[in-house]
Amino acid sequence: MATAMTFNRMFMIKAPIIVPQCMKISGADDSTLWHQRYGHLSFKGMNILTQKQMVIGLPKLKESNEKCTNCMKGKQQKQSAPKKSSWRASTKLELVHSDICGPISPESNGKKRYFITFTDDMSRKTWIYFMYEKSEALTMFKKFKALVENECKQAIQCFRTDMGGEYTSSAFNEFCDTHGIRRQLTAAYTPHQNGVSERKNRTIMNMVRCMISEKNVPKSFWPEAVNWAAHILNRSPTFAVKDVTPEEAWSGIKPSVSHFKVFGCIAYVHVPDNLRKKLDDKSTVCIHLGLSEESKAYKFFTERRKKSVDVLSCMRPSNSFPLLSATLQASDADGIVVSQITSFQLAC
């Protein structure tokens, strides 16, 4: 700064007074935020959801021109529209598709390496179960069968899978025989015949890669991401069902998505008085990991009992994290869940 010397050898500097300002980083616009909340669903897909009013709680969005780097990293080439299949089930559980994905590396925090999907052909709603070994397929099928048959008071009629050993064991065949379930086994190395399940697994894994890379969530949390992806896909448009989401086609109820938050985002969970000492922080920083297994409450990860939680260290891949699932009061499509922790705030 150049300034002239005055007669008494002083230098006069004119400095403007800086008015204190509160700076704000402008956040992502609504479209980008909802793209992230929806597990990186295409803008086209989200527009279909709003135009056809297929879900409750999704605002009208404008298409973003920005390229999403996580989509480019996480998704494979654009998936082509599935060929029209010659036959479609007209009632629930008339046909169920299934496939196994794995082994997935790294194994999960709970040492699981596989997941199995069951998709109802009529509604295209998908259920997920996690397994240590492929050989647990029959146990999971029994669990799924009990759940869905009880829910819709109908029996599974036909079950379509590939010819993997886990589906063709004598125990599996016997179980299907005794329950009058017809089998459709697709030929080995022709995955397109088992197209519905194959495509579903691919879509789930694409979504999981995007979500994990977005917030740098440790990869060992993949089951949480897979669960959340299935929850999202059951509330997303699909080629196979017209004008409703799989969830609505299955339950007849239009789902709400107002509880959707970005997978891996920070949450401040309030710790109730009886769970903390006088000088403890009133809230604890957690990472949002989708929904609890029963889909009744949010699931969070936290480094418990540390006075100050370094948020960045939570996001760094590490095997040493204790996994804590905190169930708290949350409202979702299924209603209100009340448990010990009573308030929370999600950052995004």
- Where in 34-73 is the site for Zn ion (CB under 5 A)? 40, 68, 70-71
* Complex with Zn ion: residue 56 or 72, whichever CB lies closer: 72
* Closer to Zn ion by Cβ: residue 33 or 89: 33
| Token couple for 215 | 């917030």
Alpha-helix residue ranges (DSSP H) falling in 243-310? 246-251
By DSSP bridging, strand 330-332 and strand 335-337 are: antiparallel
- Report the alpha-carbon distance of residue 333 to residue 325 in Å, rounded: 20
C-alpha of 171 from chain center: 33
Q: Label residue 247 exposed, middle or buried (CB < 10 Å: 0-12, 13-18, 19+).
A: buried
Q: Please tell me the count of residues contacting Zn ion according to CB under 5 A.
A: 4
Q: How far is the CB of 244 from Zn ion (least distance, A)?
A: 24
Identify residues 165-224 at the interface with Zn ion (CB under 5 A): none
Question: What count of residues does the chain have?
Answer: 348
Residue 249 amino acid letter: A
Q: Which range binds Zn ion by CB under 5 A, 33-41, 135-143, 263-271, 272-280?
A: 33-41
Least distance from Zn ion to the Cβ atom of residue 70, Å: 5
Instruction: State the minimum distance, in angstroms, from the CB of residue 208 to Zn ion.
Output: 13
Q: Does 288 bind Zn ion (CB under 5 A)?
A: no
Please say which residue, 8 or 76, places its beta carbon nearer to Zn ion: 76
Q: How far is the CB of 61 from Zn ion (least distance, A)?
A: 13
Min CB(223)–Zn ion separation in Å: 21
Q: Where are the beta strands (DSSP E) in 40-138?
A: 95-101, 114-120, 126-131
Measured from each CB, the residue nearest to Zn ion is 68
CB 137 within 8 A of CB 116: yes
With CA atoms as reference, report the closest residue to 124 among 238, 294, 42: 238
What is the DSSP pairing of strand 298-301 with strand 266-270? Answer: unpaired
Taking the complex as a whole, how short is the minimal distance between the CB of residue 75 and Zn ion, in angstroms? 8
Q: Which is closer to Zn ion, CB of 71 or CB of 138?
A: 71
Distance CA 141, CA 129 (A): 9
Closer residue to Zn ion (CB): 34 or 159: 34
Contact in structure between 201 and 249 (CB atoms under 8 Å): no
- Closer residue to Zn ion (CB): 71 or 324: 71
Tell me the β-bridge partners of 238: 241
Q: How many CB atoms lie under 10 A from the CB of residue 5?
A: 9
CB of 32 to Zn ion, least distance (A): 8
Among the listed residues 136, 144, 65, the one whose alpha carbon sits nearest the alpha carbon of residue 97: 144
Q: Is the Cβ of residue 38 or residue 118 nearer to Zn ion in the bound state?
A: 38
Q: Which is nearer to Zn ion, 68 or 333 (CB)?
A: 68
Please state the closest distance from residue 213 (CB atom) to Zn ion, in A.
Answer: 10
Which residues lie near Zn ion (CB under 5 A)? 40, 68, 70-71
